[in-house]
Amino acid sequence: MKNIMNSVFLSCVKATGLMEKKIHFGLTSAEEMQLKLHIMMCNACARYEKQSLIIEKSIVKLCEPDNISVDFEKLKQTINLKLKIAGNNTQIDKD
């Protein structure tokens, strides 16, 4: 009976692992069922799942090309200044 309980009911550690697996790789039908049962009974894991999805969506949004902008000229100037201060006469792309 204990083996059946352990195979059906997950610990919070295993449940959160499945939540992350679900986001990145997907779950088997059995894993999906186990996770749903656990979330129905565990408020902490239900909150964790919601928070994890919010964080994941935010990371994906931040990594979109429109959200990444780099001023390469300013970056070159900063690097050259730091090299000069460090006593290194090497410069990157003087043009």
Q: The tokens 């986001």 sit on which residue?
A: 23
Rg (CA), the chain: 24
Query: Mind listing the pLDDT tens digit of every residue in the chain (95 residues)?
Result: 566 666 668 999 999 999 999 999 999 999 999 999 999 999 999 999 999 999 999 988 887 777 667 778 888 888 888 888 877 666 666 55
- Ordered by start, the domain boundaries in the chain are 2-85
Q: What is the pTM of this model?
A: 0.61
DSSP at 11: P
Measure the CA–CA gap between 17 and 28, rounded to whole angstroms.
14
DSSP assignment of 76-88, as one string? HHHHHHHHHHTT-
